[in-house]
DNA sequence: ATTATTTTTTAGACTAGTCTAAAATTTATT
DNA sequence: AATAAATTTTAGACTAGTCTAAAAAATAAT
């Protein structure tokens, strides 16, 4: 097993790698972890010995498959706990992060799976961040809710939040389907409803409620 | 704030005090904590400096009001988490203890209060152990389920687990009420139903289902 | 291309919590 | 009451994770 500190370093490295293509630097990790470079170097040696990272002195660090899997299971736990706090315990999204940072280190496979089931297997958290599956695999790309895009932005639909037949049948009546190109023509300030054009076709309106249940990634 | 280790020592001392009237010995704590006497002595000095225990060298230790309150809030969290795991996440009672030992150290007042609310403010866990309130006060005595008593034992009813009108109305038809003296005349091995006499009156039968929802303390 | 600057690593030290072995104290036994 | 046995405390050492200060390496600037 890995210590709480090791888990936090792995998570920090994972998140830094996501931003950059190359390796992650010691200083970047130190900043993210609120520690000093010297402490990071010590930990990198340790994680390297455990084969959780590939570490090249003075160059940088990448996660191994093993290390990435651990990072992803922690992120899975973090996002499931956030969902749980918001959906079941009346927490606001702005107040769950720090608490989830504690809960993500609770060590029980069964607990995670039961929480997942209790939440009815969510695929994304309401930030649009995908929740890794129990094997540490991201089933979907990191997407944002359509409701978070700005006027004149163009994006591609990647998924839905609400999987109910009602919602999917509604979508079927429009051109909105996986892979559709969506342009935000206008946003109504009053009710946050959107005027959108799908696949460069005729523009139409969708409510904020609908927009909040559509996932998309920015195009270009 | 107190470290996880400090919290565990306080909890251990609380539980040991509950058994004994006097002070708790170093060796007893060492045994409960799976550490050595030397380690315990170190920790006792630390807890004493923090005014969480009254520590007399070579004699023993007692919790201060402050220390007891901390112990009770940890026990509160432990029992609420156990209830949550069993009631909401389909865990068995035999598999929740170790997990609750992790969860009890999660530091968030709001989380505890929301879990309490989510469970509809349980007063006891199904072992009959009382759940301290948010001020660290035990509202009720430690009781056991009537179903756990043995043939010919005499006890006093202290509470119910099921607070539903249906159940309470059923009880009202019998002499079973808070403070009633109950003697277990016989136990049916097949369905675990009980033949009991209340307040030395006429004997009657109750099912195991009913017995599991009645709390009682041993008499004499 | 040589020097200056920044980054990273090493070396040595500190804290929390643990240990073993030895010393101090209390309790039990003769 | 004196000694033996058990318990508790002290002393010194170890690990994980952190730090500061100094050395080593890489990057940038002249």
**Region B187-197: what's the mean pLDDT?**
94
CA distance B172 to A179: 65
Across chain A, what does the average pLDDT equal? 91
pLDDT of the residue at B92: 85
CA to C1' distance (Å), from A83 to D30: 56
Say if residue B59's pLDDT is above 80. Answer: yes
Say if residue A201's pLDDT is above 80. Answer: yes
Which A residues in the span 58-87 are in contact with B, Cβ-Cβ below 8 Å? 85
pLDDT of the residue at B19: 65
CA to C1' distance (Å), from B29 to D26: 54
Q: Pick from A88, A95, A103: which is nearest to B118 by CB?
A: A88
Residue A118, SS3? helix
CA distance A118 to A105: 19
pLDDT of the residue at B112: 98
Give B102 or A168, the one with higher predicted confidence.
Answer: B102
Across chain B, what does the average pLDDT equal? 91
In chain B, the percentage of residues whose pLDDT exceeds 90 is 71
C-alpha distances in Å from residue A46, one per residue of A15, A38, A64? 19, 13, 14
pLDDT of the residue at B211: 94
Q: Residue B34 CB: number of other CB atoms within 10 A? A: 8
Which bases of chain D are under 7 A from a protein CB atom? 7-12, 16-22, 25-27
Which domains are present in chain A?
Answer: 4-63 (1.10.10.10), 144-218 (2.30.30.90)
Which A residues in the span 88-107 are in contact with B, Cβ-Cβ below 8 Å? 88-91, 95, 99, 102-103, 106-107
**Nearest partner of A147 among A44, A76, A216, A73, judged by Cα:** A216
User: Mapped to the 3 state alphabet, what secondary structure does chain B carry?
Assistant: CCCHHHHHHHHHHHHHHHHCCCCECHHHHHHHHCCCHHHHHHHHHHHHHCCCEEEECCCEEEECHHHHHHHHHHHHHHHHHHHHHHHHCCCCHHHCHHHHHHHCCCCCHHHHHHHHHHCCCCCECCCCCECCCCCCCCCCCCCEEHHHCCCCCEEEEEEECCCCHHHHHHHHHCCCCCCCEEEEEEECCCCCCEEEEECCCCEEEECHHHHCCEEEEECC
Summarised one tens digit per residue, pLDDT across range B18-52 is: 766 779 999 999 999 999 999 999 999 999 999 99
**Region B69-82: what's the mean pLDDT?**
96
Evaluate whether B182 touches B216 at the Cβ level (below 8 Å): yes
CA to C1' distance (Å), from A20 to C9: 23
pLDDT band at B128 (very low <50, low <70, confident <90, very high): low
**Region B167-171: what's the mean pLDDT?**
87
**Nearest partner of B156 among B76, B71, B217, judged by Cα:** B217
Summarised one tens digit per residue, pLDDT across range A29-80 is: 999 999 999 999 999 999 999 999 999 999 999 999 999 999 999 999 999 9
pLDDT of the residue at B53: 97
Helix (H) or strand (E) holding A16: helix A4-19
Say if residue B62's pLDDT is above 80. Answer: yes
In chain A, the percentage of residues whose pLDDT exceeds 90 is 70
Which of B77, B106, B116, B117 is best to mutate for the A interface (most A CBs within 10 A)? Answer: B106
Strand partners, B139: none
Which of A110, A112, A115, A119 is best to mutate for the B interface (most B CBs within 10 A)? Answer: A110
pLDDT band at B126 (very low <50, low <70, confident <90, very high): low
Which of B110, B112, B115 is best to mutate for the A interface (most A CBs within 10 A)? Answer: B110
Q: Is A3 on the interface with B (CB under 8 A)?
A: no
DSSP strand pairing (B144-145 vs B154-160): unpaired
Q: Do A106 and B110 touch (CB under 8 A)?
A: no
Q: Pick from A99, A103, A115: which is nearest to B89 by CB?
A: A115
What tokens does B33 get? 């904590």
Evaluate whether A29 touches A40 at the Cβ level (below 8 Å): yes
Q: Is A109 on the interface with B (CB under 8 A)?
A: no
DSSP strand pairing (B181-187 vs B154-160): antiparallel
ipTM > 0.85 (yes/no): no
Say if residue B215's pLDDT is above 90. Answer: no
**Nearest partner of A185 among A210, A158, A155, A159, judged by Cα:** A155
pLDDT of the residue at A1: 86
Q: Which residues contact A104 (CB under 8 A, 6 or more apart)?
A: A7, A74, A75, A77, A78, A81
CA to C1' distance (Å), from B58 to C5: 60
pLDDT of the residue at A141: 66
Chain A residue closest in CA terms to B99: A108
Q: Which of A107-111, B59-63, B142-146 has the lowest mean pLDDT?
A: B142-146
Evaluate whether B99 touches B86 at the Cβ level (below 8 Å): no
Say if residue A191's pLDDT is above 90. Answer: yes
Evaluate whether A162 touches A213 at the Cβ level (below 8 Å): yes
What tokens does B161 get? 């687990």
CA distance B178 to B159: 6
What tokens does A103 get? 């809960």
Say if residue B3's pLDDT is above 90. Answer: yes
pLDDT of the residue at B185: 95
CA to C1' distance (Å), from B64 to C22: 33
pLDDT band at B139 (very low <50, low <70, confident <90, very high): confident
C-alpha distances in Å from residue B129, one per residue of A216, B71, B103, B167? 50, 15, 18, 21
- The protein side of the strand C contact, defined by CB less than 7 Å from any of its atoms, consists of A 25-27, 37-38, 40-42, 44-45, 55, 57-58, 60; B 3-6, 33-36, 38-39, 42-43, 46, 58-59
pLDDT band at A220 (very low <50, low <70, confident <90, very high): low
**Region B158-182: what's the mean pLDDT?**
84
Give A134 or A18, the one with higher predicted confidence.
Answer: A134
pLDDT of the residue at A22: 78
pLDDT of the residue at B140: 64
Say if residue B67's pLDDT is above 70. Answer: yes
pLDDT of the residue at B186: 94
CA distance A220 to B19: 70
Using a CB-CB cut-off of 8 Å, the residues of chain B touching A82 are none
Summarised one tens digit per residue, pLDDT across range B37-46 is: 999 999 999 9
pLDDT of the residue at A19: 65
**Region A1-6: what's the mean pLDDT?**
95
pLDDT band at B160 (very low <50, low <70, confident <90, very high): confident
């Amino acid at each position: 097993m890995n210590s709480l500190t090791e888990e936090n370093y792995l998570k920090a490295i994972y998140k830094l790698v996501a931003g950059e293509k190359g390796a992650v630097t010691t200083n970047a990790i130190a900043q993210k972890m609120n520690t000093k470079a010297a402490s990071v170097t010590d930990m990198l040696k340790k994680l390297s010995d455990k084969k959780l990272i590939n570490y090249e002195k003075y160059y940088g660090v990448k996660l191994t498959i093993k290390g990435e899997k651990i990072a992803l299971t922690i992120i899975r736990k973090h996002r499931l706990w956030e969902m749980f706090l918001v959906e079941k315990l009346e927490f606001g999204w702005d107040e769950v992060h720090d608490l989830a940072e504690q809960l993500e280190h609770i060590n029980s496979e069964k607990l995670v799976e039961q929480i997942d089931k209790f939440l009815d297997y969510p695929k994304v958290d309401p930030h649009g961040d995908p929740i890794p599956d129990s094997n540490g695999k991201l089933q979907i790309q990191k997407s944002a809710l359509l409701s978070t895009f700005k006027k004149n932005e163009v994006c591609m639909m990647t998924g839905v939040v609400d999987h109910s037949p009602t919602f999917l049948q509604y979508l079927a009546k429009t051109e909105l389907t996986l892979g559709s190109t969506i342009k935000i023509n206008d946003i109504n300030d009053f009710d946050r409803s959107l005027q959108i054009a799908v696949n460069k076709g005729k523009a139409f309106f969708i409510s904020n409620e609908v927009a909040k249940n559509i996932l998309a990634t920015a195009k270009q």
